[in-house]
Structure formats: C-alpha cells, structure tokens
C-alpha cells in the first residue's frame, strides 16, 4: 500500500487546483461560444480523481469514464494543451478535434474515454479488463460512473460477469446527488451512504 505523506497532500492540492482552473477557463470560453456542443465540468469531484490516481500505477493501469472527462487524462499524463485543443475543435486535439468535450481519448496514456451514453463505459471497462486478463497483462482498469449510471441495466450485467470471471476492474461510483436535474433520492430505492438530506431540500429538485 502506498504511503500518504505531506508531499502526497501537496501534490493532490496542486493537481486539484490545476484541474479546477482548467475547468473554470473552459466555462469562461464556453460562454464566449468558443467551445461548441455540451460542456460537463468536474468541479467539486476532484478529490475522487486525486485519490484514484494515487492508487493506480500510471502508465500501466487503465481508466475509462463518462462524459465528465476533461481532467482525468491530464492526471494520466496527457498534455493539457491537447485537451484544450480538442475542446476548441482543433486537429491538434486528442481526437483530432472530432470528439469534443465528451470524447477525450489517449490510448497511449491508457485513458479510454470519454463516453456520452450513460452507462456505456461500464461494459467497455469490463471488456478491457477481460482483454488484460486473457493476455496475461498485469493491468487494472478503473471504470468510473455517475450515480445516474447505477440505474442502467448494463451495470448489473457487467457486475455479474466481472465477478464471475474475476476481472481486474474497479468500479467507482461518483455520487454527486443528481442525474441531470433528478436527485438520487427520487430515483433509487436503495440507500447511498452519506448524508443526503440536502438533496431533498434543494429547491432545484422541486
């Protein structure tokens, strides 16, 4: 198990601050209509990524996530300029400017997107882990999803096979309380841990 030292905390703080500034800049240029299409930011969820990256072996382990995907590849080693270029639709972007906000990829850095279909990345994550196991590669895949994706059927099929075949995949649910405007409390019968009283009180949800 990796130690968490003062340097680790400082490193997390530095990275998280950079990711926040990156997203805030995108929000600013989005309003100026320099970035087209959808724009989903990662603000407020940075600590999940910082901790996850710490547990990973960068350069070896894989990551796949949903559409809130601008800063994860930065953490995996992709040049932030290439991600910004992708958002601006430039040929120098990570997907030659053709993917945009929701589709950042870097196979070289083992960052496998960037998926707009809610829950679409879940079976893909397990599939990559299956490939690694099949070819005796010692990699682990981290597969992120939002709380909204937990209600997708693909998760339940995937969890069954991932457990049956003992795949080297870790599923991470980033529960930010909402799937678009709909609160977890209104759409899931199971209880998530944590205090979600504020979800019920949020006026947006009424």
Under the rule (CB under 6 A), what is the footprint of ligand TPP? 68, 116-118, 146-149, 176, 178-180
- Look at residue 115 and give the partner it binds from ligand TPP, Mg ion, none, a contact being a CB closer than 5 to 8 Å depending on partner kind: none
CA distance 198 to 121: 29
Cβ–Cβ under 8 Å, residues 195 and 184 = no
Which residue, 45 or 94, is less far from Mg ion as judged by CB? 45
Cβ–Cβ under 8 Å, residues 78 and 109 = yes
Give backbone dihedrals phi and psi of 168, rounded to 5 degrees, phi first: -80, 65
How many Å from the N-terminal Cα to the C-terminal Cα in the chain? 44
Structure tokens at 63: 């990551």
Q: Which residue is nearest to Mg ion (CB)?
A: 146
Computed on alpha carbons and rounded to an integer, the radius of gyration of the chain in Å comes to 17
Element (H, E) at 49: helix 46-55
Nearest to 141 by CA among 161, 162, 115, 118: 162
Which residue, 17 or 43, is less far from ligand TPP as judged by CB? 43
* Nearest distance, CB of residue 185 and ligand TPP, angstroms: 13
Which residue, 64 or 179, is less far from Mg ion as judged by CB? 179
* Nearest distance, CB of residue 57 and ligand TPP, angstroms: 26
Which residue, 113 or 148, is less far from ligand TPP as judged by CB? 148
- Look at residue 127 and give the partner it binds from Mg ion, ligand TPP, none, a contact being a CB closer than 5 to 8 Å depending on partner kind: none
Which residue, 12 or 67, is less far from ligand TPP as judged by CB? 67
Structure tokens at 149: 């994706």
- Near Mg ion by CB under 5 A: residue from 165, 176, 185, 205: 176
- Look at residue 71 and give the partner it binds from Mg ion, ligand TPP, none, a contact being a CB closer than 5 to 8 Å depending on partner kind: none
Structure tokens at 16: 């998280």
Size of the site for Mg ion (CB under 5 A): 5
Q: Which residue is nearest to ligand TPP (CB)?
A: 146
């Amino acid at each position: 198990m990796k130690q968490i030292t003062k340097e680790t905390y400082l490193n997390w703080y530095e990275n998280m601050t950079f990711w926040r500034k990156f997203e805030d800049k995108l929000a600013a240029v989005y309003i100026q209509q320099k970035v087209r299409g959808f724009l989903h930011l990662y603000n407020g969820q940075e600590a999940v990524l910082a901790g996850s990256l710490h547990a990973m072996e960068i350069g070896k382990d894989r990551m796949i996530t949903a559409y809130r995907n601008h800063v994860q590849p930065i953490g995996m080693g992709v040049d932030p300029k290439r991600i910004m270029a992708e958002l601006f639709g430039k040929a120098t972007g990570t997907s030659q400017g053709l993917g945009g906000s929701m589709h950042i990829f870097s196979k070289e850095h083992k960052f496998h997107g960037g998926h707009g279909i809610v829950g679409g990345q879940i079976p893909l994550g397990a599939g990559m882990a299956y490939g690694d196991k099949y070819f005796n590669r010692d990699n682990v895949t981290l597969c992120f999803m939002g709380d909204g994706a937990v209600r997708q059927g693909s998760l339940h099929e995937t969890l069954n096979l991932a457990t049956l075949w003992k795949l080297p995949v870790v599923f991470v649910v980033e529960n930010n309380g909402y799937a678009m405007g709909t609160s977890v409390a209104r759409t899931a019968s199971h209880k998530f841990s944590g205090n979600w009283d504020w979800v019920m009180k949020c006026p947006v949800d009424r």
